[in-house]
């Protein structure tokens, strides 16, 4: 049973669905929540530091809060794993996905006057996702960002070019596939967010609900 659950969380199909949602979330907060990234924390740190150096304390905090809540999201995901990893009725990863779905649903109701609170919630949810789902077919990856996937995919491609190992090419394709789906999610997220506005994040909630059902069905 545990083996089946573990394999389900690592399938490319599920990983692609999570990456699609991850890209959508980043585009959403950037486009309709004051230009702050929900999961690209490197960008937030750069902008935070820049504003600090310029003495713009308010703007610096604008980028600091999502970084802090991202870290809290990792802590909570680890707490859920530690407490529920031996639970038989439901897998701990499903608990994380259900919580993330609810958080993003809530974020869509928050008005523009509380954009920072909404962005912090989305960052928190992103962190839980990236901490919980870290492998696709046994390869370490991230479903809410690209830099690590790009490095690993290109490293595998270089190994294939050098040694012609089919496994290396397959690994590279997996990484580039995840990047492509993430970019697709980001593009769709930008279009839908601009058109629909604040409730657009509910698209991610639907995607995550599908992921939950996929895990539940394959578990059974």
**High-pLDDT (> 90) share of the chain, %:** 61
Q: Is the pLDDT of residue 219 over 60?
A: no
**High-pLDDT (> 70) share of the chain, %:** 94
Q: Is the pLDDT of residue 128 over 70?
A: yes
Q: Is the pLDDT of residue 170 over 70?
A: yes
Structure confidence at residue 177 (pLDDT):
93
Q: Give me the chain's average pLDDT, please.
A: 88
> What is the rounded CA–CA span in Å between residue 44 and residue 37?
7
Q: Could you tell me what percentage of the chain is helix, strand and coil, using 3-state DSSP and rounding each to the nearest 5?
A: 80, 0, 15
pLDDT tier at 6, thresholds 50, 70, 90: very low
Q: Which helix (DSSP H) or strand (DSSP E) does residue 135 occupy?
A: strand 135-136
For 144-169, write each residue's pLDDT tens digit: 788 888 999 999 999 999 998 888 99
pLDDT, average across residues 84-104: 91
Structure confidence at residue 2 (pLDDT):
40
> DSSP characters for 36-75?
--SS-HHHHHHHHHHHHHTT-HHHHHHHHHHHHHHHHHHH
Question: Which of 189-213 are b and which e, b meaning 16 or more Cβ less than 10 Å from the residue's Cβ?
Answer: bbebbeeeebebbbbbbebbbebbe
Distance of CA 85 to the CA centre of its chain: 21
Q: Which helix (DSSP H) or strand (DSSP E) does residue 88 occupy?
A: none
Q: Which helix (DSSP H) or strand (DSSP E) does residue 181 occupy?
A: helix 166-196
> What is the rounded CA–CA span in Å between residue 121 and residue 117?
6
Structure confidence at residue 143 (pLDDT):
78
Structure confidence at residue 80 (pLDDT):
95
Structure confidence at residue 200 (pLDDT):
96
pLDDT, average across residues 68-73: 94
Higher pLDDT, 135 or 214: 214
| DSSP designation for 76 | H
pLDDT tier at 31, thresholds 50, 70, 90: very high
Q: Is the pLDDT of residue 184 over 70?
A: yes
Higher pLDDT, 6 or 7: 7
pLDDT, average across residues 8-18: 83
Partners of 135 in beta bridges: 140
The pTM score is 0.87
* Polymer length in residues for the chain: 220
Class of residue 12 by CB neighbours under 10 A (exposed 0-12, middle 13-18, buried 19+) = middle
């Amino acid at each position: 049973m545990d083996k089946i659950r573990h394999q389900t969380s690592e399938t490319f199909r599920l990983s692609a669905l999570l990456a699609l949602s991850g890209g959508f979330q980043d585009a959403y907060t950037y486009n309709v929540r004051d230009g702050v990234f929900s999961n690209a924390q490197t960008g937030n740190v750069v902008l935070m530091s820049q504003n600090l150096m310029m003495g713009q304390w308010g703007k610096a905090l604008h980028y600091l809060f999502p970084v802090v809540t991202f870290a809290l999201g990792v802590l909570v995901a680890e707490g859920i794993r530690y407490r529920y990893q031996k639970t038989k009725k439901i897998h701990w990863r499903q608990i994380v996905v259900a919580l993330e779905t609810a958080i993003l649903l809530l974020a869509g109701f928050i008005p523009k006057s509380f954009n920072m609170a909404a962005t912090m919630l989305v960052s928190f949810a992103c962190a839980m996702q990236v901490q919980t789902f870290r492998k696709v077919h046994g390869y370490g990856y991230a479903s809410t960002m690209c830099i690590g996937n790009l490095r690993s995919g290109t490293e595998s491609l270089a190994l294939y070019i050098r040694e012609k190992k089919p496994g290396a090419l397959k690994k590279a394709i997996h990484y580039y596939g995840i990047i492509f789906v993430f970019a697709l999610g980001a593009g769709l997220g930008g279009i839908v967010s601009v058109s629909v506005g604040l409730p657009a994040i509910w698209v991610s909630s639907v995607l995550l609900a599908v992921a939950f059902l996929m895990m539940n069905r394959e578990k059974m």
